[in-house]
Amino acid sequence: MGIFSPKNTSYLVHYKNVAQTIVDSSKLLTKMVTLEDVSAYHEIAKEMFDLEERGDAQKSEVVKWINNTFVTPFDRDDMYILASRLDDVIDSFHEVIDTMDVYEINELSRHAIKQTEIIEDLAIRTFAVVSGLTDVRSQEENIEEIKELTISARKAHRKMLAKMIKEGNDTLEIIKTKALADALQESANVFRSVASIINTISIKEN
C-alpha cells in the first residue's frame, strides 16, 4: 500500500488500548511472583480475569473499527491478525496466573523469575511497537529486540526445566514446575507472533 495508504490513524488508539492492557497484565504477573503468601493469589487471579475481559472488549473495538473502515491503512487481514495476537498475549498471562493460583506455586526458581522479567520487558517493547504503527517501518529495532528477548526467555525456560530434572525428587512439584515453565514460555512465544505480524505489515509497506 505504501504511499497510497490512507492517513486515517484513529485505529491507533484501539490497538494502544490493548497494548496497555498487556503492560498492565505483565505488571500483575510480576507482582504475583513476588508474593510470599499464596492466599493472595486468588485476588490476583480475579484481577487478571478483569484484565482479560477488558482486553476482549478492546479487541472487539479494533475489529469494529476495521469492519467499519472502507480502506484500511494496512492489509485488512493483517490488522485482524494483529488484534488477535495481542489478545492472545493477554490470554496467555491469564493461563500463567491461573496455573500459579491453582497449583499454589510459591517457590519460584531464579529462572522462572527471569522469565517473568523478560515477559514484562516484552510487554513494554510491544507497547512501543504498537504505538509506532503509524510509522511501522521505523519499528525494526523494537521488532528485533522482541525477537531477542524471546530467545532469552527460551533459554530461561530450558534452564528452569534442567534444574527441575536435576533437583526434582517430588513428582507433584515437578508437574507444577513444568506447567508453570511451559505457560511462561507460551507467553513469550505469543509475543514473537506479534512481532512477526508487525514485521509482515512493515515489509508490505516498503
pLDDT of residue 205: 83
**Residue 1 counted as domain residue:** no
pLDDT of residue 181: 92
Range of the domain at 126: 9-205
Domain count for the chain: 1
Which residue, chain included where needed, has cell 498475549?
Answer: 89
Task: Report d(CA 31, CA 41) in Å as an integer.
Answer: 10
**Residue 31 counted as domain residue:** yes
**Residue 96 counted as domain residue:** yes
Q: Which of 93, 117, 98, 107 is nearest to 37 (CA)?
A: 107
**Residue 2 counted as domain residue:** no
pLDDT of residue 166: 84
CATH of the domain at 187: 1.20.58.220
**Residue 81 counted as domain residue:** yes
**Residue 4 counted as domain residue:** no
Task: Report d(CA 206, CA 201) in Å as an integer.
Answer: 9
pLDDT of residue 2: 40
**Residue 146 counted as domain residue:** yes
Radius of gyration of the chain (CA): 18
pLDDT of residue 112: 86
Residue segments in the chain with a per-residue pLDDT below the cut of 70: 1-7, 168-169
List, for residues 30-66, the tens digit of each pLDDT value. Answer: 999 888 888 899 999 999 999 999 999 999 999 999 9
Helices in 68-205 by DSSP H: which ranges? Answer: 76-103, 110-131, 140-167, 171-205
Handedness of CA 127, 132, 134, 137 (dihedral sign): negative
> Hey, what's the cell of 72?
484500511
**Residue 3 counted as domain residue:** no
